[in-house]
Amino acid sequence: MITTIDANSVSGVAPNGQDRDLYVSLPAAVRLALRQHPDLETLLRQKFGPLAQLRIRSAIADNNLAALQLAAVQFEATEAAAEAHRWLGDRALSAGWFGRALAEYRRAEATAEAAVREELAPRIRLAAAMLGEDAGQPATREVRFGEIKLPPPSSSRSWPR
């Protein structure tokens, strides 16, 4: 049911299945369902991982923000969702929405594999720094943001400049 949700039918909020007085958004409802039913998370990863990759990579290639946001919600527990949240974080960072970027990167970090978490660390540090916060450790190797490559800091200068 989660993987077949239509973007046009999910605006606003709906009653929570467990508490009819609690109204939640689709992302909150999916997160609650995944938390309450760990087998659902396993099923999403195992059975729908390839579909998640296809939808998310297609949305990124088409620069379709609405489709990407929906797919990130539908496949929240998958590695593909981590890719979507990283892309959304990069987009927010480039637009100057540092709080949103930090939130997207942290959501990506929750389901990402170790290699992707290494890529996220300098992004998280940069977004946090733009908010006046300190997060993580300074970069020790080259950092890539799309086509831009930033070298690691040298001992004689601060980074980034």
53 within domain boundaries: yes
158 within domain boundaries: no
Structural domain count of the chain: 1
Please check the confidence at residue 27 and state whether its pLDDT lies above 90. no
More confident residue, 147 or 79: 79
The model scores a pTM over 0.85: no
The SS3 assignment for 148 reads strand
Report the mean per-residue pLDDT for the chain: 81
The whole domain housing 133 covers: 2-150
78/44 Cα distance (integer angstroms): 7
27 within domain boundaries: yes
The three-point CA angle 117-5-62 to 5° equals 60
156 within domain boundaries: no
